[in-house]
Structure formats: C-alpha cells, structure tokens
Structure 1
Amino acid sequence: MARMTLLPYDVQPDTAPPVPQSYRGLWRRTLLTTGDGRIDRETRVFWMQTARLHIDIRVPATRGTFGTASALAELTCEQLIDLAAQMGFAGATTVDEAAVAIDAGDDRLDRCTWHRQIDFSPPSNARDLGTMRFETPHVVLEDGIEAVYHERWERDPASLGATWAVRLSRESAHAAGVLADDPDGAARDDAPSVFIARCGDFFMLARSRSPRAQAVLASCRGKRLVEVVRDPALAIDDVRALLDFEISLGRVRGNDGARWTIELSTLPWREGQPAFTDSVSAALDQLQAARGYGADPT
C-alpha cells in the first residue's frame, strides 16, 4: 500500500490561538429554541471540538429508513429528498474569551466563530457566531449573535482525553475507503476534502462532496438543500452527487482498529460499519497512542 499521509490539522499555522481546553470534546445539543418560537429536542445534533477543528452533524429524528440500500444510487427521489434535510459542516473554530459584555456590566461572555470549510448545505452569506456561557464544566449555553436562537450543549464525559485532528491526503482518503472514485483520480482537483477528529472514545469523519458538485450549489446561495434537490430540472445523478457528502460520528471500543465503528452518519448505511480499512485504523491508533500531532504513521 502507498505510504499514508496524515496531515495534522491542529498544529497548522494560524494567527488565532487554539480553542480553550474547556471547549474540547463531543457535545450533544439537548435543546434549541428559535426567535419564531420553535423548540427542538429531537434532532440528533453533535459537535466535536478539537484545538482548532470542529465537525458538526445534524440528523432529523424523522429521517426515514432505507431498507437494504447501501449506496445513493439505490435510493428513490423521495429518499434522496429525505436525506437532504440533514445538515452538518466542518472547519476552524475561534474563541474570543470574555469578548461580549452582559448589559454593560462586569460579566462577559465568550464569542465563538465557526468558520465552515465544508458544508452539507448550500453556501450562505450568514456568519456562524454565538455567545457562550458555561452553566457547568460540561454544559454550555449558546445564543446567536446574528440570528435569534438559544442552544444547550452537554459534553459526553467519555469524550475527555486525548484530542486531535488530521486531514487525509487524497491517496490516504482512498485507502480509508471514503472516496469511491478511482485512485488515479485522486490527484485531480475534484477530489473532496477529508477531515478526521478524535476526542476521547469518540471520532468524527467529514468528507465533502466533490468540488464539481459543490459548483452546482454555487448558484443556490441561501437556499435549503431540500429546495435544491426538489428542482425537477436537476438530473437525479446530480442530486446524488450533491448528497455524496459524509459526516459520520463513531466510537472506538478498545485498541483494535477495526472497532472504529460508525454510529450516526449522513449516509445511513454506514451506521454500524467500520469507518476505515484495517490499515488506516491501525495508523490512527498509532497517532492516538503517541498523541503526536506531528506523528507520521505508515
């Protein structure tokens, strides 16, 4: 097998300081309220935060079942529309501590900015900004700055521990089984971006659709993905390309790399399956054991 290249994300040059330790881990959203009175406790929303990288997945509780389907090519138009209701994104996080005054008093809130580098949804002009207040070390309350919403996040204690993030080279992404096109195409510019993060016992994988498919969304700025894929002028193969975007959350249950198992995914047939090939899992195990962001496993 070709040499794997795991590019450490959390030590990339950046003018912003790393995210404070208090934010790192896997957080589950347990409450959302919006300015129009909507309350949501059912959507499965998880946010993983490392020193710099965030990965976020949002799966509606109403998402249907897909029988024995094992690929987007096997889904009907209605099933594809169902998948388009999901959300998720990944990118860099910055935290400005004590940046927002509360009623001009002495108390101040942190301001978080999530800079999305890949996004399941079409492009948007909106920024993702929130004020953050820790109710306890494992409960943080978020309020929108440029949108009216309130979210409650609870951190899973099992996500405490070694935390890191990497970007896979294109060749390694093929070896990991998260790119389905032929390996010879890995060197072309249309290969998607792939990130992997781990916090304690949990990991997340984010793999974007191809830039070619992303270009289709460029003219749909501000729309919901469901609106885009419902367009009868869009060929079904283009719909499938738009939905070929994976965000998966899983758990590592021991030192055996084969136990990097997906529990929730934007591609439902991946759930319950190994996330990576044995060789890639073993390389990630070595990285975890070393806690070496600059490690170069083979």
Structure 2
Amino acid sequence: MDCREITRAKIAIPSLVGLWRRSLIEWDDGKRDESTKVFWLQGRNHFIDLRQPASLPRFPDRKCRDDLTYQDCLALSCQEGFAGHLQTNGDAYEWVRMVDYQPVQSLPDVGFLHWQNATLIETGKDLPYTEHWHREKGFTSSIPLHLQLEDRANGCRAVFLMVGRDFMFARNRTIPMPAGMTLHETVSQASNEEHARQLVDCEISFGKIAKAGGPLIIHNSTLPWKTGTLFQFDLSGETIVTIPDIAPNGKNLTRRWHRVHTEGND
C-alpha cells in the first residue's frame, strides 16, 4: 500500500472528537506563528475554538466590562474564536460558524485535513495557509455534551460543549457587526468607549473539570475577568438553561437561555 493514500484518506468527523492544540500556522508568504495559544474542542459534529495571541495582556484589575478602557478593547480585539458545526464539503471540511468573535468574512472557513504521523495537517482551500494540530493526551471516549442556546429576549446565541473533562462556552454579542472588517478595525472606529466595550463583549471560554464530579473552572477567556472563575449551569428545566454571569457593571447576573438543541449525556 502507498503510505500517502493511508494518511490522506478521508477523515471521519467523529474520529476528531477531543481537545486539539495548534503548534504552527504558516502562510504562503513564509509568515509563521508558533506562539498563539489555540484551543479547538471538537464534539461529534460541533466545535468551539479560541485563539489568543502571546502578546495579549492579562488585565488583572479588570473585574467586569465597565472596567475596560478603549486601549483594553483594542488589545482584546486581536483575539479570535468561533463556534458552530463541522461538515464535509466534497473532499474538504467546512467549519460553519454560529458564533464568531471576529466580524463575518466573505470567504467560508473551508480546508483539507490529512494525517502526517500523529500530526493533523490542515490546509486552506480558499486561503493559502497550513496549520499543525495535536490532540491532547488524556482524551476520553465519553459522549460529548453539546447545547445550542438562544436568549429569546434579544436573539443572542450561545453554545456549550463538553468532552471528557474539557469544556468550552461561546456567547455572541448583542449588537450588529459590520462584515468584511476585522474587529480591531471596527473597535478603532467605535463612536465612544462604551461602544468599544460592546464590540468586544463576546465570550469564548475554555476550561476543565478539576476532578471527576468537581467544579468547572475557566482557564482562558476572551473576557479576562472570567479567567479563574467557576462555570455553572442548571439543566433541570425542560427547555430553559440558567447560567450565572457577571453584568457589565460587575453585579451578579443570571442568564436564562432557551435550549434550541441538545446532544449528548444530559
């Protein structure tokens, strides 16, 4: 058999379940990035992805959205992240986004996947890039839990995904975003500081369960005041999921989400 045929055989999406970390992205002009911290959590079909540049400040004194300055918002705008579902598109794979930290771009997120030994190689279809992915050790075969949520009051959408002891949560912002621009460009044109804060008020958080049956602790988040906090949710209702949160002014807030779709071990 030709080894290349084995490594480039079609990869079934369910076989990608787990937490993936990126070691490299390279563009055709030779530019490389090996320092951005990337978390890609993949369920049976759904995914959440968070990308934070190494230069991102930690913002230890920011406890809520109202604490952010205009310069803070500019720094936060360089993050990336998205959530949605992964589907095949001919020989390629398409990451269909339901929540996106950056404004919607004109080209879909489509690429090709193949194995190179234990490394998953992703190459862009419409954009010339190559990414190297590595599945985290300790992967568990437990059934992923996926929740697709909607706030019926304002139309805001959110996604929760848990695979083993890893979990991610993505919540969209509630104001419209101009397409075709980067978030940094959009924040640069914000009418005032409060508008800039609203533009970066999109949560994508990654965390872990410390031990079996233990609490869910957020390790990384687009919202710096969420890092190190507990993530809690109540699934006892048939259609409503309640999630404690922090209001823009720092007060406690409980969000009531309508379950649009549930998949997994709930």
TM range (shorter): 0.7 to 0.9
Shift of 1:280: 5.6
Which of 213, 222, 230 aligns to 1:256? It is 213
Shift of 1:168: 5.2
Partners in 1 of 2:160 and 2:145 — Cα distance?
Answer: 6
Secondary structure (helix, strand or coil) at the match of 2:96 reads: strand
Partners in 2 of 1:51 and 1:62 — Cα distance?
Answer: 33
Using structure 1 for the length normalisation, give the TM-score.
0.72
In the alignment, residue 65 of structure 2 is paired with which amino acid? Answer: L
Specify whether residues 140 and 222 from structure 1 end up closer, same or farther in structure 2 by C-alpha distance, changes over 3 A only. Answer: same
Specify whether residues 58 and 29 from structure 1 end up closer, same or farther in structure 2 by C-alpha distance, changes over 3 A only. Answer: same
Specify whether residues 50 and 275 from structure 1 end up closer, same or farther in structure 2 by C-alpha distance, changes over 3 A only. Answer: same
Would you say 1:269 and 2:225 are equivalent positions? yes
Specify whether residues 121 and 62 from structure 1 end up closer, same or farther in structure 2 by C-alpha distance, changes over 3 A only. Answer: same
Secondary structure (helix, strand or coil) at the match of 2:225 reads: helix
Which of 8, 12, 23 aligns to 1:30? It is 23
Contact 1:19 1:50 in 2 (8 A): no
Contact 2:22 2:38 in 1 (8 A): yes
Structure holding more strand per residue: 2
Please tell me the root mean square deviation across aligned C-alpha atoms, in Å. Answer: 2.4
Would you say 1:151 and 2:131 are equivalent positions? yes
Partners in 1 of 2:149 and 2:86 — Cα distance?
Answer: 22
- Structure 1, unmatched stretches of 5+, are 1-17, 101-110, 171-185, 284-291
Which of 182, 189, 194 aligns to 1:224? It is 182
- Structure 2, unmatched stretches of 5+, are 1-10, 242-261
Specify whether residues 169 and 223 from structure 1 end up closer, same or farther in structure 2 by C-alpha distance, changes over 3 A only. Answer: closer
Shift of 1:112: 1.1
Secondary structure (helix, strand or coil) at the match of 1:134 reads: strand
CA displacement 1:170-209 (0-9 Å, x = unmatched):
5xxxxxxxxxxxxxxx532x14211111122211111111
Shift of 1:166: 2.6
Specify whether residues 114 and 140 from structure 1 end up closer, same or farther in structure 2 by C-alpha distance, changes over 3 A only. Answer: same
Structure holding more helix per residue: 1
Q: Superposed, which structure 2 residues align to 1:78-227 within 5 Å?
A: 78-95=71-88, 100=91, 111-136=92-117, 138-167=118-147, 169-170=149-150, 186-188=151-153, 190-210=154-174, 213=175, 215=176, 217=177, 220-227=178-185
Contact 1:158 1:200 in 2 (8 A): no
Shift of 1:81: 0.5
Aligned pair count? Answer: 233
Shift of 1:169: 4.5
CA displacement 1:230-284 (0-9 Å, x = unmatched):
11x5222221111111111111122334x2011111112211111125x569x9x
Contact 2:25 2:132 in 1 (8 A): yes
Sequence identity (%): 30
